[in-house]
Chain A
């Protein structure tokens, strides 16, 4: 699905990613783990075209997409649920979701199908159904996070980038968000996940990469990573989401 080779990216004079390579196979969930400033969010932003890459190659669904803009990436089927949610605060929940399907509506997809997908999101996130007509800005943090995820799903994407979906959420909601991620995985949705709760993230992932100072230092199946003593000591210890 996604192949990244020697990706370099950064801001201004600073190079954050110093050549990282990884893959996200179709139907799998892959986690990026790392401390603050390691470059997780930068990776997400570079992949979705919000940040221009400095070197390296990105292949998505078999074709080279290096240097594509974010709107082009969205059109190709890559959805980004960004850190800090970024919902359209002055629009209703329904409008936010409909905008998520913008690329599909523009391609002339039948609105019947879009409607069906809307219903699917409301089934997945019942809280959003209750608040259909409410302005997104008036939702609580957890509901906004659900909206951001549902909006990304409305694109019917081939790959979803989930950046810190549990950040700033009450513990009871963190558990709910992870339950939803697990459900999506069981439905076969391909995801790249960045999470502060590394242990919880690995539990829902197939594979994981550890980022340190802009380089990948350890990789392996989620099971092996969660048993790797060095990884446990640095990233998994003391963090109990469940």
Chain B
């Protein structure tokens, strides 16, 4: 949903503004209002679930906090709606920060359980603290006042539309900024995110705080929409419904959130009476039948694969005419419909539709794929700052890294001077990659010291080490797969964005300047590794060797003084290796020092000034490449006769 036509959004906004005149009565207007209010919450949930890739079963609780901030401010302090909105936003955001704490420690099912407990505790607290919340009795609220005028039903609806529109704009701006990219990066590879100088800790907390802010505003709007709140609204079921809405509508899409919210609000109502159910079922069956027929006709899928959904929806439509009353079946049918959607449309309705349209189009213009360009250095500077400072760049002293009883590194010491290329070789499992993980802070050494530019980096956080000027690539490629090639590099450039929340939300000139300048810089870096024609391709669609080059471009984006390359030539053929060597030479010429782990001896020979050989966690030889290659110990342990 990157290039939504603006007129589509405008049309939707006009439609929403016109609803009070289009809908027959206030009941329907209230439904529309609820949809918009839920959508605001879903935006927030999407930050956590869709962008950051975490799970939260605590959002109904946060929604409740927002509602109760409004309620308590009204009954205890007599403060109205206009103060309640910012208060709900801030207070709920604080609770979001609390919710983020478990997310820093646990992931997956564990995080789901912890957030579930968090949501449940919030609900129970609201219920028990009756000195503040009036407990199970609930709180009644009057419609808000604007000056001396109480808002009518449609005027309140208009307020909700305005806040919804504002939330949509803010959400769009948030996710299309360096913050949004940081969220997505930590979803795809937390390790690489940290090594790009983007603190996973900081951005996870930020994601939960922002997400809770949306939930708080939504809760506050809801309180004034219903004009009555009670603790049992904000239960587990509501949380599940919110998650379903995101999954059904489609992650990472504003339209998806709106669609999901529409489904969870309207579908139960449509199933309330038999007439509307029949209509819904028939329309659904026809849509599925037509869509499937078109897909099969175009050869996109086979009859067998669409059989179940076509027959299933047709069966539901038939059943709808057999039933006399809905009451007994309502919940079962709701369940079956949701099951169908979640099972068949795993990318959500929006994701599926986009994919489908793209497939239909692809049939028309069979776009081949743009040819890969070769490495092209010399067009633009490789690094932003010239290399200056102490001659000794890296000092490793007596470093020990023990895993249980196994010493992966045993009292390793060496120094590296600025501007040189150091090769690390040795048998598989001899400690080379461990060395790299210790240098970048992913492992905290058991003993010993490491100094970079004369300052100790022993035991520092990976993101801090990265920002101090050490960048790396990974042996097992760690790209942000669901992001574009250019966005991957932009995550590496994160350290050069200066704007904060205000700059992002208001799109201040400084933000635009940064964004434009760094996009250009990103393109230059891509050109350097020959990937500029693929800037908009998803990183995971690149072939393996190109992914390795992208990792180098991303690492260079950090403007490092020391670049660590972990087996960059693995899987490359002779021609590719020549290009790689040219790239490494250009990197060194720009004043960036390089540590190179490699098994290709011709690469080591051509690129390195100095080589260190590891075996069983110890250095068994060191020296210029030719000397090392002739060393009998190295031949025995590593090179072979």
List chain A positions with a Cβ less than 8 A from chain B.
Answer: 10-16, 18, 33-37, 39, 41-42, 83-84, 140-143, 164, 167-175, 196, 198, 213, 234-240
Provide the bound-state CA to CA distance between A198 and B367, in Å. 31
Closest to A37 in B: B543
B572 surroundings in chain A (CB, below 8 A): 35-36, 196
Interface range for B: 35 or more
Flag whether B105 is at the interface (Cβ < 8 A): no
Contacts of A172 in B (CB 8 A): 427, 637-640
- By the criterion CB–CB under 8 Å, are A239 and B602 in contact? yes
Cα-based distance from A160 to B556 in the complex (angstroms) = 39
Nearest chain B CB to A34 CB, angstrom units: 7
Closest 4 CB pairs of A and B: A36-B545, A140-B429, A172-B640, A141-B428
The reply to whether B427 and A34 form a contact with Cβ atoms under 8 Å apart is: no
Residues from chain A with Cβ under 8 Å of B5 in the complex: none
Closest to A11 in B: B541
Establish whether residues B638 and A171, one from each chain, have CB atoms under 8 Å apart when the complex forms: yes
Known: A164-B571, A235-B575. A36 touches B537 (CB 8 A): no
| Cβ A169 vs Cβ B599 within 8 A | yes
Task: Tell whether, in the assembled complex, residue B427 and residue A140 are in contact, meaning their CB atoms are under 8 Å apart.
Answer: yes
From the candidates B475, B537, B576, name the one contacting A35 in the complex (CB within 8 A): B576
Structural contact, B639 and A36, CB atoms closer than 8 A = no
Residues of B within 8 A of A143 (CB): 428
**A-B pairs with beta carbons under 8 Å apart, 24 shown:** A10-B369, A12-B538, A15-B367, A15-B369, A35-B545, A35-B576, A36-B545, A37-B545, A141-B429, A167-B570, A168-B428, A168-B475, A168-B567, A168-B571, A169-B599, A170-B427, A171-B601, A174-B599, A213-B371, A235-B573, A236-B574, A238-B574, A239-B574, A240-B602
Cα distance A84–B426 in the bound complex, in angstroms: 19
Contacts of B429 in A (CB 8 A): 140-141
Instruction: Please list the residues of chain B having a beta carbon within 8 angstroms of any beta carbon in chain A.
Output: 358, 362, 366-369, 371-372, 425-429, 475-476, 537-538, 541-546, 567, 570-578, 599, 601-602, 637-640
B543 touches A238 (CB 8 A): no
Across the interface, name the chain B residue whose C-beta is closest to A174: B599
A-B contact count (CB 8 A): 108
B573 touches A170 (CB 8 A): no
Cβ-closest chain B residue relative to A234 = B575
Chain A residues within 8 Å of B362, by CB? 13
B640–A168 touching, CB < 8 Å: no
Closest to A164 in B: B571
Q: In the bound complex, do residue A196 and residue B369 qualify as a contact, i.e. CB atoms below 8 Å apart?
A: no
- Whole-angstrom distance between the Cβ of A216 and the nearest chain B Cβ: 16
Q: Are the CB atoms of A198 and B573 closer together than 8 Å?
A: yes
Contact of B372 among A37, A173, A198 (CB under 8 A): A37
- Residue among A37, A164, A173, A174 with max Cβ neighbours from chain B (10 Å): A37
Give Cα A240 to B603, complex, Å.
11
The closest CB in chain B to the CB of A170 belongs to B427
